[in-house]
Structure 1
Amino acid sequence: METIPAHPLSRFAAATLYEAMGKRGDLEPALRAVGAARLFGPAFTVRCHIGDSRAALVAAAIAPAGSVIVIAAGGTHRSTVWGGSSTRAAMRRGVAGVLTDGAVRDTVEIRALGWPVFAAGAAVRGAVKNHPGWFGEPVSVGGAVIRPGDLVSADEDGVVVIPAEDAAGLLPLAERQAAKEAALDLEIEAGADFRDLQGFR
């Protein structure tokens, strides 16, 4: 089974990476954590025919360990593309998690499993499983184009996508941003006036 190694950017919060990229890469805030609230990895892209979950379920069986299955479901919340059984299948492969602009179900089960699923909502209605869908192509999810291999970083604040070609150069910027945030917090704890720290006077 192919396994994707851990990435040095995975230790940074999504908001820190967003700031480090020059305030770019954020997805729609409606995409929220259903299961565990920390997700990071390269995108394994899937596009489903609207109302059909077959491609998403196949992805649970073929996505590389360490990848994030990114499912473009057409933005519909009236039928689900992911649930408890697909979560278990992907977990067994070592997949890092799932991001979809569609709905999911079995949310109590997913939370109990402690596995990262970020989705636009939850619904009880299942989908048909007829259309083969598309794999390994750029997809539109959350107001952004996500390509295979782009890095997905998500936590309780939201979701950020890092273009694959920007990842290597982002590390020193992320380290600088994290250090800046930590230094600010130390000054606050030391009693500095927050207005001065923000340059408001």
Structure 2
Amino acid sequence: MSDIIQQFREVPTTCISDAMQGLNNLDSCIKPLKDEYKIAGRALTVKMPIGDNLCVLKAIREARPGDILVIDAKGDTYRAIAGDFVVEMAQALGIQGIVVDGAIRDIMGIKNLNFPVFCKGTTVAASNKAGVGEINVPISCGGTSIHPNDLIVGDADGVVVIPQAVEQDILDKSVAKMESDQKRENNVLKDKERIIQYLDNMLQGR
């Protein structure tokens, strides 16, 4: 894992989102199956038609260890992009996680794998394999544009995308926001008087 990816892994998505003015967040419906999941890595993008997941298998075959599969499934929650068998193959090949604007199935099996999946929901219906779809192309996932190798960070609050061209700048701003939040918490929450003073300042626009 590269140094910048590891550094992003230590920053909450809320701070990263603030550093980008909230413009690169995936739809808030896309959540981790377990709150403790945390991912940070490069996007391997997948553009799939509704109900045809053969390109997901192709992406798993071509992914590098540490990649995050980011799948544009058009928001469909009727047919799953994968079940526990496919997800376990991804895990075995070193893929770090899956983010999908769509649904998965075999939820208990996937949870038992302890493999990070971020999705809109679960379903019982499988996909077909007609063979349509593309990988490593620009996509829209959760209402956000994502290019191959953009940085993806996800945690219990959701998923954010950091474009490659600005990743160092966003990292610096995110870390500064995290440190500022911690300093504010340490200063304000010491006693009731400081809390009241802080609230008064906010209400008066100071």
TM-score, scaled to structure 2: 0.90
Counterpart in the other structure of 1:31 = 30
Counterpart Cα distance in 2 of 1:167 and 1:32: 23
Counterpart Cα distance in 2 of 1:169 and 1:144: 19
1:5-54 Cα distance to aligned partner (Å, 9 max, x none)? 35122211111100122332111111111245212111100111221111
1:175-200 Cα distance to aligned partner (Å, 9 max, x none)? 21011110111123311215625622
Counterpart in the other structure of 1:5 = 2
2:117 maps to amino acid = V
Counterpart in the other structure of 2:202 = 199
Counterpart Cα distance in 1 of 2:160 and 2:58: 25
Q: Where in structure 1 do 4 or more consecutive aligned residues deviate above 3 Å?
A: none
2:88 maps to amino acid = R
CA distance 1:112–1:181, shift in 2 (3 Å): same
Counterpart Cα distance in 2 of 1:27 and 1:195: 35
1:68 maps to amino acid = I
1:129-187 Cα distance to aligned partner (Å, 9 max, x none)? 12242011001110011110111111111111111111011222112101111011112
Counterpart in the other structure of 2:90 = 90
Counterpart Cα distance in 1 of 2:114 and 2:188: 34
Identical aligned residues as a percent? 27
TM-score, scaled to structure 1: 0.92
Counterpart in the other structure of 2:175 = 175
Query: Aligned residues, how many?
Result: 198
1:34 maps to amino acid = L
Alignment of 1:24-173 (within 5 A): 24-35=23-34, 37-173=37-173
